């Protein structure tokens, strides 16, 4: 069943939301560069991680020796009588966990995200909408960015990431997702949301329930004059009763939109919020006066009368 209050929700209070087909007309000029850039970014991160993993695996002995040297110079070990054994154990664990297992896990997750992204992009161009872009692909980059920030401020501090010649690949593996998330993933998510809102609004407007609701609103307006519906008229009347000295100045004209706007402007913000509350307009408590007036007129159908 159609709920009129949906029209007051944040998603549907955007004026002049384009139809999905109108948004798709800008695919080449507005969206394509971000779609391609995001795919390239995922592939670049995957490639750098893979190169780093291969180099780490191929140069195990050299890397562990460098880690031992760095550990002896920079770390404090509990048992001073058996430092070499402790250093060996630390170097082996660091190499195994941070340079082999972790990159493998990242590569696996990133590969899944890349495959899902490519498959959904193909689907996007078939359906001519970016609403179906994979959430998982952008989530992967976002998770990588969070891990990268954590690594930079914790693990990288005082660690031997650059003590061996191939550490730069591991470092970039943490830095690049942060940059991609900030500059590419955010626009991709914005594009997807733009199409989702457009599709949902179009579906709502095309529903029989909404059409019936529109007809009822039009009938109500035609019976009670052009512009504000009976409920708002009653609210105006209540406001006049509270201010009897202003009856002449506050006389409401149902024929002119300009007059309605003027009367709303003269009302106190508390009275406007009371009207907005009755109409279940979301966020009315924090709205400024001009925002309240705009929302009230929009909900009452005033914005459709020009």
Question: Which residues neighbour 278 within 8 Å (Cβ) at sequence distance 6 or greater?
Answer: 231, 235
pLDDT band at 92 (very low <50, low <70, confident <90, very high): very high
| Closest C-alpha to 106, from 171, 146, 51, 49 | 49
**Is residue 89 scored above 60 in pLDDT?**
yes
Which segment, 122-126, 212-216, 234-238, 296-300, is predicted with the most confidence on average? 122-126
pTM: 0.61
**Lowest-confidence pick of 76-80, 130-134, 184-188, 221-225:** 221-225
Q: For 120-157, how does the pLDDT look when each residue is reduced to its tens digit (9 = 90+)?
A: 999 999 999 999 998 888 888 888 888 777 777 766 66
Q: Measuring CA to CA, which residue among 230, 146, 143, 138 is closest to residue 189?
A: 138
Mean pLDDT for the chain? 77
Structure tokens at 112: 């899944």
Domain ranges of the chain: 4-205, 225-304
pLDDT band of 80, cuts 50, 70, 90 = low
Contacts of 14 (CB under 8 A, 6+ apart): 197
3-state secondary structure 25-76: CCHHHHHHHHHHHHHHHHHHHHHHHHHHHHHHHHCHHHHHHHHHHHHHHHCC
């Amino acid at each position: 069943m159609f709920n009129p209050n949906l029209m007051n929700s944040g998603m549907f209070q955007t004026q002049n939301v384009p139809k999905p087909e109108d948004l798709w007309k800008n695919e080449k000029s507005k969206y394509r560069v971000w779609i391609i850039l995001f795919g390239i970014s995922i592939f670049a991160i995957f490639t750098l991680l893979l190169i780093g993993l291969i180099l780490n695996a191929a140069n195990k002995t050299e890397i562990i020796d460098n880690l031992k040297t760095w550990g002896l110079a920079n770390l404090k070990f509990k048992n001073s009588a058996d430092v070499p054994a402790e250093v060996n154990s630390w170097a082996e664990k660091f190499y195994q966990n941070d340079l082999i297992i972790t990159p493998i896990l990242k590569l696996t997750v990133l590969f899944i995200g890349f495959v899902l992204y490519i498959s959904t992009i193909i689907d996007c161009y078939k359906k001519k909408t970016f609403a179906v872009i994979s959430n998982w692909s952008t989530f992967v980059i976002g998770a990588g960015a969070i891990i990268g920030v954590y690594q930079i401020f914790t693990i990288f501090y005082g660690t031997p990431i650059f003590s061996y010649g191939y550490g730069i690949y591991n470092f970039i593996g943490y830095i690049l997702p942060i940059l991609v998330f900030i500059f590419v993933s955010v626009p991709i998510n914005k594009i997807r949301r733009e199409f989702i809102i457009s599709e949902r609004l179009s579906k709502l407007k095309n529903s029989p329930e909404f059409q019936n609701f529109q007809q009822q609103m039009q009938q109500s307006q035609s019976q009670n004059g052009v512009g504000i519906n009976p409920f708002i008229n009653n609210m105006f009347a209540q406001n006049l009763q509270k201010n009897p000295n202003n009856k002449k100045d506050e006389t409401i004209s149902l024929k002119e939109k300009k007059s309605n706007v003027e009367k709303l402007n003269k009302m106190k913000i508390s009275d406007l919020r009371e009207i907005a509350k009755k109409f279940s307009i979301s966020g009315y408590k924090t709205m400024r006066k001009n925002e309240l007036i705009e929302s009230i007129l929009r909900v009452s159908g005033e914005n459709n009368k020009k």
